Structure 1
Amino acid sequence: MSHHQSHGEAAGQTSGGARRLLSGAARASGVRLVAIAAAGIVSAATAIALPAVLGHTLDLLLDGAVTTGAAGTWIGLCAALIVADMLSDSASALLTGTVTARSAAWIRGRALRHLLAVGPRGAGRFSPGDLVTRLTGNVTEAAVAPATVAAAVPALALPLGGLVALLLIDVWTAVAFLAGAPVLVLLLRAFTRDTSDAVTRYQRVQGDIAARLVEALGGARTVAAAGTQEWERARVLAPLPELGLRGRQVWRVYGTAVARGAVLVPLLETGVLAVGGLRLAAGELTVGELLAVFRYASLAAGIGAVVGQLAALIRSRAAARRTAALLAVPAMTYGTRQLPEHGPGRLEFRQVTVVREGRSVLREVDLVVPGGATLAVVGRSGAGKSVLAELAGRLADPDGGTVLLDGIPLSELERGALRREVGYAFERPVLFGATVHEALAFGPYEPDEPAVTAAARAAGADPFVRRLPTGYATPLSDAPLSGGEAQRLGLARAFAHAGRLLVLDDATSSLDSVTERQVVRALLHDVRAGTRVVIAHRASSAARADLVAWLDDGRIRGVGPHAALWRLPEYRAVFAAEADDHGVGGEGRECGDRGRSHDGGAPQGAAR
């Protein structure tokens, strides 16, 4: 597992977070939990009363009271108790299923809302596969806890009630049972300790396998192209032996407890029955009382039911700790301030520093983007371009320094005010919605149909969308998209919601040069005027921007027009590899010509 995963795992081991999570789920089903406890108490009460009533009825029958009405009354009471026990058990089962489903929905909703609130950086502490495991299987197991706890009091009432009834009927039979009770207690303690450790390890390995599987599925084309299916299969299933080991350990602990109980309980019952037989021979017990004593000894030694409850509760708490690890990641908080009504979209970075895994990704970045300007951010791979793009619209917060929009720190803005005015387009957009239109309209507000169509036209998506079977109403599942088409739809979605700041994080990388020029032209003339931050890998993209911020190893190496920066050999070298990869050597020469004809001032902060 990764460092981030282990960090999240350590945070999740605190029992306090699991307790709070399960308490919240319990409060969400409070009335139903009371009903489960009430049904369980009725069931326990009938189970405790039934042996005494059966014993008394048997004594009446043996005394020849069958010809009188007394025996019939007691037989009717026995039947009523049995029916009451059946009805209460049925109600408890129905309520338990309902509460468990409601608890799962509540826990999953709470965890998912928090996960979305922490932002991409916080969620990145867990791998996608591990997140899926925590939000599905672990949540399902954790959801069992509230109903299990509600049924725990009635479950404990059975052995305690059986013991009290033994004491009331005959002290000596109770003493015979209590002689073996300490062994029962030790058995339960050992079971709890061993099961908790085994279940925790089992669930951790489950998450590890899920993480590997999601990684393999995400890279399925690469695996197929490399012909490494068998190697990848072996990698995904490598933790399987440990999973089997932990699973067998869980069942071994459970089986050992049940086996020991299967030996101990009959011994206890035999001892109680032996003492009861002696008391019967001495005339101190009746036959009916002996029957009741035997039944109460079985209830008092009900280790099987208690072990089952304990096992369910232990699994639930272990799963709740893994789910609570998600809630331990601090959520991104928002302020209450609003942006100036007619602000131009001036973006400013003041001494911004970002540290990832102990490495400084951005270092004391000072940068001002005038309102309405287009800024291209360039730099070698790993220079910090995408991190700067994340900070621009507050998908993440800096570890030091401040990012401001129209003079207001982003962290002080109200959530809606920020999201309405900042739009993003990514290299690999994820499209939400049932249809193409819904995917383009997805955002903080729903633009009208003409706005959606205009945005698609600006992004170069309108022609291929209209060729789909039902145009914009085509279900996404019926619209197989190439990488470039998906990227154009992502751009169209961003254009439809463009506010005073639009961030394009390598959002034109899958477009051919002609389409890219059309999109950039439309961005400058057909999309709502505002500030643009473009992560650029092509020299042509940088050349079309008003300003270029040149990042090098997390620092601003220079800021200025592309043509001015192009005079520097180190700057030109940034695009050399990209030009070779795309076969656009002429692009660099064109930019070089522009640079030689440009008579602007020296770039800000540029190395000479």
Structure 2
Amino acid sequence: MGQDHRQPQRSGAPDRTASPTLAQDARSPRNGLPSASPRWWWPTVLALSMATSSVAALVLPAVIAAGVDRALSGDAGAGVAPLAAVLCLLTAAETLAQYAGPRATAEATARLRAALIRHVMAVGPYPARRTATGDLVARLTASAAEAGLSVQAAVYAVAQLVMAAGSVLALGLLAPELAAAFGITAPVGWLLLRRHLRRTVQRGEGYQGAQAAVAARLLDALAGRRTIAAAGTVEREIERVLAPVPELSRHGRALWDSQRRVAWSTGLLAPATQITVIAVAGYELSTGALGPGGLVAALGYATLGLGGFGTAQSLLDHARARAGRLRVNEVLASPRQPPGLRCLPPGPGHVELHGVTVRRAGGTVLDGLDLTLPAGRCVALVGRSGAGTSLLAAVAGGLLSPERGTVLLDGVPMDEIRPADLRAAVAYAFSDPQLTGATVLDALRVAADPVPEARVRAAARAAQADVFIRRLPAGYLTSVRDAPLSGGQRQRLGVARALARDGRLLVLDDATSSLDSATEAAVLRAMDDTHAHRTRLVVTRRTATAARADLVAWLHEGRVRALAPHHELWRLPAYRGMFRGAEDAQG
């Protein structure tokens, strides 16, 4: 997912710690897993129970053989106790394995999902390589669930192979001819299994990729369902969403066909192997080289040895798990910014950007940009559509680290500041704010350190949101889900949430674009009255908003073309033309 281009560490700066590994993420108590359940507890229980079950299963034919010989010699009762003990041990071990297996799978899946979510959130809103939301959902649900099978499948496969190997060894101890008879057909089965397993891994990756494609298209369609309904393109969207289904079907049929071939092959080889062993054992019995108990033991060990073919399903599960793990690891391998370790000292909110370069798939968006935001001043950031104003706002507030260049907040590089200190110092309001929390009050108070209710209500009044909030069914305690909010009302709530934070830098990324001119003017006027001591960066496309700012930063072709008051820039035809085009587009 791209390279993590970082500037060389300055002398005297503290050492950085590498980003946490998957194992560290999984062990963290913050991932939602119970701390009383260590990572390897249930896999260990499963392994021990399967080992015990395998040993008991290997001992069982010998115990039965001894019992048969004693029964034929007239001492039938002597073999009952050993047989009962082995059966009880085998039953207990199998029962425990049936419980431990799903627990190990469930907890492995939970750890993968927790690590995936934590990594995606830690990478931030501007990853080096974007992954579609539907694809992420598919990886989080289907791929992680498949990957969670790996431990259980591996344990079962090893146990079955151990039993098969132990059975062949036991047959050899009974009579070398029995082991040779078993070995005639078994290698053919393993060659077939190996071939089909390779195909299963390839088909599994393709199947999960096609699933992700359908999920991504479906989520896109659901997000734009009003537009689709208004345009009358429902049937076309259905076709678009279902376009990957033939590929999904092709991979699915190939996947199940591979499993069918494995079952068919082993279904033929198992009886052939068993018949061969029985025939040799019968011959050994007729010659007196093998007693009746030995014949029974040979039949038992032949059956256990054939259980090695049952490894096919476990290995197929492991192949599916590997395919799922590869898809999860593609996301976990994306570079993530190591957290800063420096405390942010008190300061007025002075921001400096030096030589900032940001690239995206389409090319270089910000190219060696320099910009200074004076402390306690309001700077309007303007530019034509696609100029990168939102990316610059993200860089200035520490949401995005540039590929090259430095960003300083009160003299401290932003990538060296502790995340908690940085997020407390910078408040954001966006054009499409997401309201999280049970109630409107919760959505406004959301922060690492909850904001006092009195400050929330004052911020809501400044953002011109208090009046309509109090008109909601339960006022500030109205459920966010039940609040009938327009786009402009949501924006005012987003601005109120930012104003409630006691930070030194406030970034409004086109956060008033859905407000009418009068409401926007009232919001900006109140913000000037109550937050004049804070540094403000306002991304805007409106002339009136730029005119209210102390300075205007004009972004053009990846650099700041000018930093000056609006009335000075207004003399330039290109500057005036930019606003006319933007305001015409807004309607």
- The TM-score with structure 1 as length reference comes to 0.89
Query: 1:308 aligned to 2:335?
Result: no
Query: 1:93 aligned to 2:103?
Result: no
Deviations 1:417-476 (A, max 9, x none): 111100111010111111111111111211111011111111111111111222112221
Structure 2 equivalent of residue 244 of structure 1: 249
- Structure 1 residues 577, 498: CA separation in 2 closer, same or farther (over 3 Å shift)? farther
Deviations 1:10-29 (A, max 9, x none): xxxxxxxxxx8589869942
CA contact (8 A) 2:357 2:404 kept: yes
Query: 1:529 aligned to 2:533?
Result: yes
Partner Cα separation in structure 2 for residue 214 and residue 230 of structure 1: 16
Deviations 1:540-563 (A, max 9, x none): 110111000111222222211111
Partner Cα separation in structure 1 for residue 252 and residue 241 of structure 2: 18
Structure 1 equivalent of residue 34 of structure 2: none
Partner Cα separation in structure 1 for residue 584 and residue 26 of structure 2: 57
Partner Cα separation in structure 2 for residue 93 and residue 325 of structure 1: 32
Structure 2 equivalent of residue 365 of structure 1: 369
Partner Cα separation in structure 2 for residue 344 and residue 102 of structure 1: 47
Partner Cα separation in structure 2 for residue 130 and residue 418 of structure 1: 31
Query: 1:404 aligned to 2:439?
Result: no
Task: State which of 191, 194, 197 in structure 2 corresponds to 1:192.
Answer: 197
Q: SS at 1:233's partner residue? A: helix
Task: State which of 132, 138, 142 in structure 1 corresponds to 2:143.
Answer: 138
Task: State which of 173, 185, 198 in structure 2 corresponds to 1:180.
Answer: 185
Structure 2 equivalent of residue 107 of structure 1: 112
CA contact (8 A) 1:455 1:527 kept: no
Partner Cα separation in structure 2 for residue 187 and residue 486 of structure 1: 61
Query: 1:355 aligned to 2:359?
Result: yes
Structure 1 equivalent of residue 58 of structure 2: 48
- Structure 1 residues 277, 175: CA separation in 2 closer, same or farther (over 3 Å shift)? same
Q: 1:501 corresponds to which letter in structure 2?
A: L
Deviations 1:489-511 (A, max 9, x none): 11111111141101000100111
Partner Cα separation in structure 1 for residue 456 and residue 168 of structure 2: 74
Task: State which of 114, 118, 126 in structure 1 corresponds to 2:123.
Answer: 118
Structure 1 equivalent of residue 428 of structure 2: 424
CA contact (8 A) 1:37 1:153 kept: no
Q: SS at 1:292's partner residue? A: helix
Query: 1:496 aligned to 2:500?
Result: yes
Q: CA deviation at 1:267?
A: 0.5
Partner Cα separation in structure 1 for residue 99 and residue 229 of structure 2: 48
Structure 2 equivalent of residue 518 of structure 1: 522
Task: State which of 331, 336, 340 in structure 2 corresponds to 1:335.
Answer: 340
Structure 1 equivalent of residue 229 of structure 2: 224
Deviations 1:180-208 (A, max 9, x none): 22212212211221111111111111111
Partner Cα separation in structure 2 for residue 562 and residue 74 of structure 1: 100
CA contact (8 A) 1:22 1:320 kept: no
Structure 2 equivalent of residue 30 of structure 1: 40
Structure 2 equivalent of residue 17 of structure 1: none
Task: State which of 191, 194, 214 in structure 2 corresponds to 1:209.
Answer: 214
CA contact (8 A) 2:384 2:582 kept: no
Deviations 1:497-550 (A, max 9, x none): 141101000100111112111110111112372110001111111011100011
Task: State which of 569, 575, 578 in structure 1 corresponds to 2:573.
Answer: 569
Q: 2:343 corresponds to which letter in structure 1?
A: Q
CA contact (8 A) 2:377 2:532 kept: no
| 1:439-518 correspondence to structure 2 within 5 Å | 439-518=443-522
Partner Cα separation in structure 2 for residue 39 and residue 81 of structure 1: 14
CA contact (8 A) 1:458 1:527 kept: no
Structure 1 equivalent of residue 326 of structure 2: 321
CA contact (8 A) 1:134 1:322 kept: yes
Partner Cα separation in structure 2 for residue 576 and residue 24 of structure 1: 50
Query: 1:538 aligned to 2:542?
Result: yes
Alignment RMSD:
2.0
CA contact (8 A) 1:548 1:561 kept: yes
Deviations 1:218-261 (A, max 9, x none): 11111111111111111111110110110111111111011101
Q: SS at 1:115's partner residue? A: helix
Partner Cα separation in structure 1 for residue 489 and residue 579 of structure 2: 25
- Structure 1 residues 483, 472: CA separation in 2 closer, same or farther (over 3 Å shift)? same
Task: State which of 262, 273, 288 in structure 1 corresponds to 2:267.
Answer: 262
CA contact (8 A) 1:421 1:499 kept: yes
Q: CA deviation at 1:359?
A: 0.8
Q: SS at 1:120's partner residue? A: coil
- Structure 1 residues 123, 420: CA separation in 2 closer, same or farther (over 3 Å shift)? same
- The TM-score with structure 2 as length reference comes to 0.92
Q: 2:56 corresponds to which letter in structure 1?
A: T
Q: CA deviation at 1:273?
A: 0.6
CA contact (8 A) 1:169 1:289 kept: yes
Q: CA deviation at 1:316?
A: 1.0
CA contact (8 A) 2:204 2:251 kept: yes
Q: 1:39 corresponds to which letter in structure 2?
A: S
Structure 2 equivalent of residue 599 of structure 1: none
Q: CA deviation at 1:155?
A: 2.3
Structure 2 equivalent of residue 299 of structure 1: 304
Q: 1:277 corresponds to which letter in structure 2?
A: G
Q: 2:269 corresponds to which letter in structure 1?
A: L
Partner Cα separation in structure 2 for residue 339 and residue 52 of structure 1: 73
Structure 1 residues 36-45 or 571-580, which shifts more?
Answer: 571-580
Partner Cα separation in structure 2 for residue 484 and residue 143 of structure 1: 44
Q: CA deviation at 1:154?
A: 2.2
Partner Cα separation in structure 1 for residue 413 and residue 53 of structure 2: 61
Structure 1 residues 218-227 or 301-310, which shifts more?
Answer: 301-310
Q: SS at 1:83's partner residue? A: helix
Deviations 1:289-348 (A, max 9, x none): 21221221121122442011101111111111111111111111232223331x111111
Q: CA deviation at 1:60?
A: 2.9
- Structure 1 residues 556, 123: CA separation in 2 closer, same or farther (over 3 Å shift)? closer
Structure 2 equivalent of residue 603 of structure 1: none
Q: 1:360 corresponds to which letter in structure 2?
A: T
Partner Cα separation in structure 1 for residue 69 and residue 532 of structure 2: 93
- Structure 1 residues 582, 255: CA separation in 2 closer, same or farther (over 3 Å shift)? closer
Partner Cα separation in structure 2 for residue 472 and residue 487 of structure 1: 16
Partner Cα separation in structure 1 for residue 160 and residue 25 of structure 2: 23
Unaligned runs of 5+ residues in structure 2 are 4-20, 28-36
Partner Cα separation in structure 1 for residue 419 and residue 586 of structure 2: 40
CA contact (8 A) 1:265 1:301 kept: yes
CA contact (8 A) 2:26 2:115 kept: no
- Structure 1 residues 474, 516: CA separation in 2 closer, same or farther (over 3 Å shift)? same
Structure 2 equivalent of residue 395 of structure 1: 399
Partner Cα separation in structure 2 for residue 361 and residue 505 of structure 1: 17
Structure 2 equivalent of residue 287 of structure 1: 292
- Structure 1 residues 148, 29: CA separation in 2 closer, same or farther (over 3 Å shift)? farther
Q: CA deviation at 1:360?
A: 1.2
Structure 1 residues 138-147 or 448-457, which shifts more?
Answer: 138-147
- Structure 1 residues 307, 385: CA separation in 2 closer, same or farther (over 3 Å shift)? same
Q: SS at 1:364's partner residue? A: strand
Unaligned runs of 5+ residues in structure 1 are 9-19, 584-608
Task: State which of 554, 575, 600 in structure 1 corresponds to 2:558.
Answer: 554
> Between Structure 1 and Structure 2, how many residues are aligned?
561
Partner Cα separation in structure 2 for residue 86 and residue 426 of structure 1: 61
Partner Cα separation in structure 2 for residue 540 and residue 228 of structure 1: 38
Task: State which of 49, 69, 77 in structure 2 corresponds to 1:39.
Answer: 49
Q: CA deviation at 1:72?
A: 2.1
- Structure 1 residues 338, 205: CA separation in 2 closer, same or farther (over 3 Å shift)? same
Structure 1 residues 538-547 or 155-164, which shifts more?
Answer: 155-164
Q: SS at 2:400's partner residue? A: coil
